[in-house]
Amino acid sequence: MSTPNSMQYYLLPEDFGAKGDGFSDDTEALKHCIASASGGMGIVNLKPHVTYVITQTLVIPNYISVIGNNASIKVSSVWNKVTVGASVPINTIIWVKGREPFAGTDLSMSTRFIEDLKISGNPNYSNLIGMYMGTADQSEITQSTSVNYSVYKCAFKNISISYVSTGLFLAEVWGSYFENIHTSYIWDCGLKIQGQIVNNTFVGCQFSGLYNGVYVNGATYQGFIRRPEGCTFLGGFIGSAKIGVNVVRGLAFKFSHVIIDLNTLYAVTGADMSDFVFDGCWIYCTARAIDIQAIYSIQNNTYVAFNNCHVISDGYTDPYVTYVHVRQNGIVFNGCKINGVMYWDDASSGVVTNCIWGDKTTTKPRIIKYGTGYVRQSLNMFKQDGRLVVTLGTW
């Protein structure tokens, strides 16, 4: 064990009995190593390129940091299925616990980072969560202001998660930074955002899952549904999923220069999306690339913009490349290159401007409007060989 300065010190799991041989159970050694970081200034320093086997959830409390050194934490074939918190899902491999604020104005930094770590589940268990971030019991949050949080201003870099049902599950995270998070062999969802998620940044991350690449939904606090808000995705890749970006509730998200590349269903779909911006993205799906819908009349989407994106579908699996339906308001396509036919359903409105077609010339309508739908035919809207191509009705 080394002490580089008086302010922080490094703890090695091997000093607490860990083997790191890929076979021995290192759960208790890792727990004791984490617990020994007294005063919250300890840094858990894993041995480079070894494999630690665990049989229970590892809890990372407030102020504790982990240097992974490209070591792996792997789930044993014998897993203790116990709940570690009232609303923390069973079978969480690593629980980044954080804390609740002491008062409505408490914005103390959690001072935690986790970097260069590999997390691997076990094919014997179908509901494993790679890393969960949130308080033990969300129902215990009592602050009446909007600063209820658990993990605040933390950094997570170079983390790979594989062979689990959900890769990264964010329940309460504020102002944190995620870089090069990679999920693979995910049975359900790569990134699940479901709770009070505010002003987080994702840089160069790659999310995949059998069903969802990125799933966004709200959670009920003190009788009110609070939507995740203010998150930014810069670069990165979303793929190998039935749905790339799936939004049930969300506010003020931005995807900038992200590749969304799928072979089924929808690349982007949403209900109750507000102020979502896709800027310079590659959006591809063999079926319907973009599906903006409403589940209920109160969950319509407003001010969703696609700027300078390349939107593509094969035109055979589904007849429409984009589908805007059931009372959507303010949907904007600006400067995009689109391959396929757009469909605007009843009472939906928006703007399509300065866009071009990316596929071959056709006599069929490029934009189909149904019922009372309204699409502004602005100057320099869709053009093909200098000819405006927009239509009412069906074909």
- In angstroms, rounded to a whole number, what is the distance separating the alpha carbons of residues 121 and 186? 10
Tell me the pLDDT tens digit for each residue of 152-165. Answer: 889 999 999 999 99
Range from 13-17, 131-135, 282-286, 367-371 carrying the lowest mean pLDDT: 367-371
pLDDT at 221: 61
**How would you label 139-160 residue by residue, b for 16+ Cβ within 10 Å and e otherwise?**
eebebeeebbbbbbbbebbbbb
- In angstroms, rounded to a whole number, what is the distance separating the alpha carbons of residues 226 and 218? 5
Which pair of structure tokens corresponds to residue 240? Answer: 């190998």
Q: Which residue has the higher pLDDT, 233 or 123?
A: 233
Residues comprising the chain, all counted: 395
Name which of 282, 360, 289, 352 is nearest 318 in CA terms: 289
pLDDT at 318: 87
pLDDT at 345: 76
- In angstroms, rounded to a whole number, what is the distance separating the alpha carbons of residues 130 and 135? 16
Contact at 8 Å (CB) between 242 and 265?
Answer: yes
Tell me the pLDDT tens digit for each residue of 338-394. Answer: 888 888 876 677 778 778 887 776 666 677 766 555 555 443 344 444 444 454 433
Domain positions in the chain are 9-262
**How would you label 362-371 residue by residue, b for 16+ Cβ within 10 Å and e otherwise?**
eeebbbbbee
The residue with tokens 């984490």 is 34
> Which homologous superfamily is 9-262 in?
Single-stranded right-handed beta-helix, Pectin lyase-like (2.160.20.10)
- Is pLDDT of 90 > 80? no
Tell me the pLDDT tens digit for each residue of 234-253. Answer: 999 999 889 999 998 889 99
